[in-house]
Amino acid sequence: MSDFILILPEICLLLTLIFVIVAEITYHGEQVRWVKATALVGLGAALVQTVVAYQYGPIQVFHQAFAVDGLSLFFKLFFITLAALALIASAHTREIPRSRQAEYCALVIASTLGMCVASSASDLLLAFLSLQFVNILAFFIAGYGKRSLHSIEAAVKYMITSAVGGALLLYGLALLFSVTHTMNVYEIHRALVAAPLSAEHTLAILMLVLLSFSFQLGAFPMYFWMPDVIEGAPTPASGFLSLSVRAVGLAVALRFLIAIFAQPGSAEGQWQVLGSVDWTNIVALISAASMLIGSLLALRQEGAKRLIGNLLIAQTGFLLLGLLVLDQIGVAAVFYNLVIELFSLIGIFYVLAYLLEEFKTDRLTGLRGMMGKAVPESICLVLFLLTLIGIPPMPGFIGKFTLIGAAVRHDRLSLAVVAILSMTLSTVGVARLAYSLAGDLRMTVAFPAASSVKRQLFLAALIGPIVLFGVFAEHILNWAGKSVSFILW
């Protein structure tokens, strides 16, 4: 019975999903619909359950298939908040028609359920299945703009790459299973400690799995889908996908890499590579290439959404910096950055959705002079962008500093150099977008767009936490650090 108490967040999500679906199929044209409210209440309940679960300590349930620890709880909080924000953000857009909001709601909640399970899964089969579940739903969400060719193209691209990624992951896991005869990450770890793998075998497994993760994270070398999907999907859906798919990949990758292929190091809070293959170098390569490619591609984009899509590749590269150093401070930095990204990306796509709707284009040339028409929205967009790429005075800078600092502390100076270079390039790319907003103010200042209190409130609700994360950075980092030390290894 106590097992069920520990998976209450998932149960809550499942119940919410059922309510939403039942509400949708029993809908007979009533005036008032409570689908969104129901969903938000359900998400709120799940959030509370997750916070409550912290007190039960790191524990494994359901025959060790399911870990309730700092890592999974952090990611559950992250995913549930993401779903709530994504649902609120999608309410104000016409890209997802009113009649289909309930469907979208169900997809988002189902996807959240999948992600929560994936972040908890300490059984590799469970992790694989939930990842695939998330990916299939992401395929539907990406293709949600059924009438738009771009959206369909994005969905198909996503489906094909996710099929390849899933297959690679499965091959890798099969190889691992063939040696260790177990699917539980902690047992695999013990088996590997008892009987180390040969270097060739390890290399083959890691190559397959890292390739698959690079798809999931949108990192080099399988990053091609990222700009297409971000551009093609309906804008609120892009906001959701830009975070959900990457974050769930990161959650699984963290558990897989650190719980299986690392072991506690000499110092407290540090790990070292297990086995003869130093996979952190491979991750370093992925990270550096992603940072460079993402920020370089962003320089040449003509569409705002595509530009962000490319920046995301670079952001993933940054996040990997915190992973490859294999210590608690690095992982805490990853968590801090994820939280910052959550609010900034939702904000960016929210404003972009509004601009797209109001001005029918996301070409940089088409957005000319937007700052004169939609003043608060444009200013917020600039602030969100500064947060994303880490420019002072936004707290994104503190996040980037912690990540780059992690690399420097472990003598990966060349990686730090690449990271700083990538930050500079991203700034220039974002400056083009910012200029296109601000540039021709004098031509358009006469026709301000209608302002909406609801929209401004939501934007304030996104900016507020970002500012607080900067002021109380110490507390957030501490909390992230606690989450990390609370992980089962």
Partner 1 sequence: MSQHLITLMILLPFVGAILQAFVPNPPGAGRWIALAASVLASVCGVALVASLQGQTADLQAIESLPWIGSFAISYEMGIDGLNALLVLLVAIIFPVLVGYEWNQKLGRRGVHGLFLLLQCALFGTVCAQDLFLQFFFWAFTSIPVYFLVAIWGGEERENAAFRSLVAASIGNALLFAALILIYYSVEPHTFALKELAGGRFSARAFHLFGSEFPVSGVAFALIGAGLALRIPVWPVHGWFTQIAEEAPPSVLVAFAGATVPVAIYVFIRLTYALFPEILSSASGTIMAVGAMNLVIGGICAVAQRSLRPLLAFVCLGQVGFMLLGIGSLSSAGLVGAVYQQFVVGLGLAGFALLLGIVIDRVGHADFMSGGGNKGERSFGGVAVRAPTVAIVAGIFIASLLGFPGSGGFVGNALVMIGSYSALPGLVLLAGAAVLLAAYYLFTMYRHVFLGKPRAEGAEFKDLSLRERALILPLAASLLAFGIYPKPLLELVRPTVLTLLSTVK
Q: Taking a C-beta distance cutoff of 8 angstroms, is the pair 386, 341 a contact?
A: no
297-312 core/surface letters (b: 16 or more CB in 10 A; e: else): bbeebebbbbbbbbbb
Q: Which amino acid is at 74?
A: F
Q: Which residues fall within 8 angstroms of residue 472, CB to CB, at 6 or more apart?
A: none
172 or 396, CB closer to partner 1? 396
Considering only 276, 281, 365, 478, the residue that binds partner 1 (CB under 8 A) is 478
190 or 475, CB closer to partner 1? 475
120 or 328, CB closer to partner 1? 328
Q: Taking a C-beta distance cutoff of 8 angstroms, is the pair 78, 338 a contact?
A: yes
Q: Bridge-partner residues for 272, per DSSP?
A: 263
| 3 state DSSP class of 4 | helix
Instruction: Give the Å distances, CA to CA, from 58 to 54, 72, 120, 176, 218.
Output: 8, 10, 11, 25, 30
Considering only 264, 409, 448, 452, the residue that binds partner 1 (CB under 8 A) is 409
| CA 218 – CA 57 distance, rounded (Å) | 32
Selected range binding partner 1 among 12-20, 135-143, 319-327, 470-478, rule: CB under 8 A = 470-478
152 or 408, CB closer to partner 1? 408
441 binds partner 1 (CB under 8 A): yes
| CA 74 – CA 103 distance, rounded (Å) | 27
449 binds partner 1 (CB under 8 A): no
477 binds partner 1 (CB under 8 A): yes
Positions in 323-342 near partner 1 (CB under 8 A): 329
Cβ 453 to partner 1, closest distance in Å? 13
| CA 330 – CA 299 distance, rounded (Å) | 29
Selected range binding partner 1 among 45-53, 138-146, 231-239, 402-410, rule: CB under 8 A = 402-410
Instruction: For 27-125, list the strands marked E by DSSP.
Output: 59-61, 66-68
Site string for partner 1, 363-392 (x = CB under 8 A): --------xx-------------x----xx
Cβ 371 to partner 1, closest distance in Å? 7
DSSP string, 416-439: HHHHHHHHHHHHHHHHHHHHHHHT
Cβ 362 to partner 1, closest distance in Å? 19
Residues in the interface with partner 1 (CB under 8 A) total 40
Contacts with partner 1, residue ranges (CB under 8 A): 329, 371-372, 386, 391-393, 397-398, 401-402, 404-405, 408-409, 411, 413-414, 416-417, 420-421, 423-424, 427-428, 431-432, 434-435, 438-439, 441-442, 445, 473-474, 477-478, 481
